[in-house]
């Protein structure tokens, strides 16, 4: 099944985006062939509930897993309810992250790894 | 006449001003004080009201009947707050994001959504020495203060003066508190922080079309920071409360300025009269 990676750029050479709900785009990738496409994240501009909007948006791509830096409680709930594996703590080069995932180097997370609105710290680093 | 008391920066003295004003005017006017700082109401500490009624406040959130739902996703499409998500054969609702607009319920093609109450807080009403009092309080853990502010303000139009103690800042609950009032008294302090947040509050109040005036609390050597700004913006500075130890002591013991230092009663009455002049309010409408 396809996997989605929150992306800071438009290619596999870009960095993994540390935020799930409000990242600019996702790379939707077939791990077998490494063919991919870029999906613009419409949930990014949500006034509230960005995690929920983003999760619903990418679930429609028929993915089996999400690789991201941080995932909040609402997004995690939606993804899990849809049967999507959530892998947090992913960072660095997207291509390398995917290879590490394929070789079993990442464990899926059973819960959100950050609290709500984490990536919107307004300089408070919370 | 309805006067809201707001600030911008927190801790400038909104409640000091609101409660002192209330206590100063009670001799000559019919006065109601509404504590709309629903996340941390504190006016009751100074007013010490006798509470005569408590009512639970709830917003309406969706409940989906699984036997009628066909997971078409229409509810999720129409919800602008992302409070309802449809995935495969599951529907998830997020009551803390729901604004109670009713769109999902109304537009569900299978009438599978009913609206159920979701408690968010309380409204207490009471009185103290002839002063009518009401206080809204958001439950700990709940996210949405605005519906409670709305409920506190919902009263039959009355005679006399209504004072609304708002929260600090310029977010939604503050806007709800100031909206529709005849005048907004902005309490500030003569510091750069005070000025910065005052200017944000002034912008908000102008957007709402509510006339305003400023009270400088803890006034002292650096008042010109605020006075200069007010002059530029053509906003009247209506009162200055000095930085004085005896005022701080009084307040820390739960007394308003009117109770502890009677000379302030006259000053607050004058403040009210100035506001009435500025709003073109005929004082005989509000007087006892």
Residue of B80, B81, B87 best to disrupt the A interface, most CBs of A under 10 A = B87
Reply yes or no on whether the pLDDT at B211 is more than 50: yes
Report pTM.
Answer: 0.84
Among chain A residues, CA nearest to B88: A82
Residue A81 contacts B where some CB pair is shorter than 8 Å: yes
- Mean of pLDDT values over A5-23: 96
User: Which pLDDT tens digit goes with each residue over B133-184?
Assistant: 999 999 999 989 999 999 999 987 778 999 999 999 999 999 999 999 999 9
Chain B positions in Cβ-Cβ contact with residue A53 (cut-off 8 Å): 82
> What pLDDT does A63 receive?
95
CB spacing of B97 vs A52 below 8 angstroms: yes
Residue A49 to chain B, least CA–CA distance (Å): 5
Q: How does the average pLDDT of chain B come out, rounded?
A: 94
Q: Are B198 and B229 in contact (CB under 8 A)?
A: yes
Give percent of chain B with pLDDT exceeding 70.
97
CATH of domain B58-119: 3.30.70.20
CB atoms within 10 A of CB B21: 30
Q: What is the mean pLDDT of chain A?
A: 91
What is residue A121's predicted lDDT score, i.e. its pLDDT?
62
Q: Report the percent of chain A where pLDDT is more than 90.
A: 79
Which residues in chain B have their CB less than 8 angstroms from residue A47's CB?
Answer: 80-81
Asked if B87 and A46 come within 8 Å (Cβ–Cβ), the reply is: no
What's the average model confidence in pLDDT over A110-114? 87
pLDDT score of A124 more than 80: no
The values of phi and psi at residue A14, to 5°, are -80, 170
CB contact under 8 A, B90 and A47: no
Return the structure tokens found at B173.
Answer: 């609950």
Q: Which chain B residue has its CA at the smallest distance from A79's CA?
A: B87
Question: What does the pLDDT read at residue B282?
Answer: 55
Considering CB atoms only, which of B80, B88, B97 is closest to A82?
B88
- Classify residue A106 by burial, with Cβ atoms within 10 Å: 0-12, 13-18, 19+: middle
Contact across the interface for A81 and B87, Cβ inside 8 Å: yes
Q: Say whether B82 and A48 touch across the interface (CB within 8 A).
A: yes
Distance from CA of A89 to the nearest CA of B (A): 25
Confidence (pLDDT) at B284: 47
Domains of chain A are: 2-102 (3.30.420.130)
CA proximity to B213, closest of B182, B192, B190: B182
Question: What are the Cα distances from residue B42, in Å, to A38, B24, B196?
Answer: 52, 18, 25
Give me the pLDDT at residue A115, please.
84
Residue of B nearest to A82 (CA): B87
In the predicted structure, residue A123 carries a pLDDT above the cut 90: no
Q: Among positive and negative, which fits the CA dihedral A30, A34, A38, A41?
A: positive
pLDDT at residue A47 in the model: 85
Q: How far is A93 from chain B (nearest CA, A)?
A: 30
Cβ-Cβ pairs closer than 8 A, A with B, add up to: 39
Q: H or E segment at B136?
A: strand B131-138
Chain B residues with at least one Cβ partner in A under 8 Å: 76, 80-83, 85-88, 90, 92, 94, 97
Where are the domains positioned within chain B? Answer: 2-30+159-286, 58-119
Whole-number pLDDT of residue B202: 97
Task: Check CB contact of A75 with chain B, cutoff 8 Å.
Answer: no
pLDDT of residue B94: 95
Given a cut of 60, is residue B227 above it in pLDDT?
yes
Write out pLDDT tens, residues A50-92: 999 999 999 999 999 999 999 999 999 999 999 999 999 999 9
Task: Tell if the CB–CB gap between A49 and B90 is shorter than 8 Å.
Answer: no
Q: What is the pLDDT of residue A110?
A: 86
Is the pLDDT at A11 greater than 80? The verdict is: yes
Which of A49, A59, A78 is opposite residue B81, by nearest beta carbon?
A49
Quick: pLDDT tens for B262-279.
899 999 999 999 999 999
Cβ atoms of B165 and B18 within 8 Å: the answer is: yes
Tokens of B132: 């009518």
Say if B2-30+159-286 and B58-119 have the same CATH topology: no
| Residue among B42, A20, A15 at smallest CA distance from A4 | A20
Span B34-56, mean pLDDT?
97
A46, A53, A78: residue with CB nearest B92: A78
Closest residue in A to B83 (Cα–Cα): A49
Which chain A positions have a beta carbon within 8 Å of B81's beta carbon?
47-49
Q: Averaged over B219-235, what is the pLDDT?
A: 95
One of 3.40.50.10900, 3.30.1490.20, 3.40.50.1970, 3.40.50.300 is the CATH number of B2-30+159-286, namely 3.40.50.300
**With bands split at pLDDT 50, 70 and 90, how would you rate the model's confidence at A122?**
low
Q: How large is the average pLDDT for residues B30-44?
A: 97
């Amino acid at each position: 099944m396809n996997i989605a990676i929150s992306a800071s750029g438009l290619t596999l050479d870009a960095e993994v985006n540390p935020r799930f709900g409000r990242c600019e785009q996702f790379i939707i990738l077939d791990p077998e062939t490494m063919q991919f496409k870029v999906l613009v994240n419409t949930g990014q501009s949500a006034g509230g509930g960005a995690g929920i909007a983003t999760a619903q948006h990418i679930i429609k791509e028929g993915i089996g897993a999400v690789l991201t830096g941080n995932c909040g409680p609402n997004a995690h709930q939606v993804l899990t309810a849809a049967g999507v594996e959530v892998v947090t703590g992913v960072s660095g080069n997207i291509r390398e992250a995917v290879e590490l995932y394929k070789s079993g180097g990442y464990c899926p997370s059973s819960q959100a790894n950050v609290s709500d609105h984490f990536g919107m710290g307004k300089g408070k680093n919370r | 006449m309805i006067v809201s008391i707001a600030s911008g920066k927190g801790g400038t003295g909104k409640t000091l001003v609101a409660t002192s004003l209330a206590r100063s005017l009670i001799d000559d006017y019919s006065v109601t004080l509404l504590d709309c700082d629903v996340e941390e109401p504190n006016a009751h500490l100074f007013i010490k009201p006798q509470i005569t009624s408590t009512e639970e406040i709830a917003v309406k959130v969706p409940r989906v009947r699984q036997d009628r739902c066909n997971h078409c996703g229409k509810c999720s499409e129409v919800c602008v707050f992302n409070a309802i998500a449809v995935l495969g054969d599951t529907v998830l609702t997020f009551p803390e994001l729901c604004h109670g607009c009713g769109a999902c319920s109304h537009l569900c093609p299978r009438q599978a959504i009913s609206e159920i109450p979701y408690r968010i807080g309380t409204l207490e009403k009471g009185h103290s020495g002839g002063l009518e009092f009401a206080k809204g309080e958001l439950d700990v853990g709940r996210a949405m203060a605005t519906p409670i502010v709305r409920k506190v303000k919902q009263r039959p139009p009355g005679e006399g003066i209504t004072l609304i103690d708002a929260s600090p800042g310029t977010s939604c609950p503050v806007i709800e508190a100031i909206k529709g009032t005849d005048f907004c008294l902005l309490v500030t302090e003569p510091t750069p922080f005070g000025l910065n947040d005052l200017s944000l509050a002034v912008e908000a109040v102008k957007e709402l079309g509510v006339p305003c005036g400023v009270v400088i609390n803890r006034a002292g050597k650096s008042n010109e920071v605020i006075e200069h700004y007010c002059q530029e913006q053509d906003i009247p500075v209506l009162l200055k409360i000095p930085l004085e130890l005896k005022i701080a002591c009084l307040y820390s013991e739960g007394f308003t300025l009117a109770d502890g230092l009677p000379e302030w009663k006259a000053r607050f009455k004058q403040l009210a009269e100035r506001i009435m002049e500025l709003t073109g309010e005929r004082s005989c409408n509000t007087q006892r």
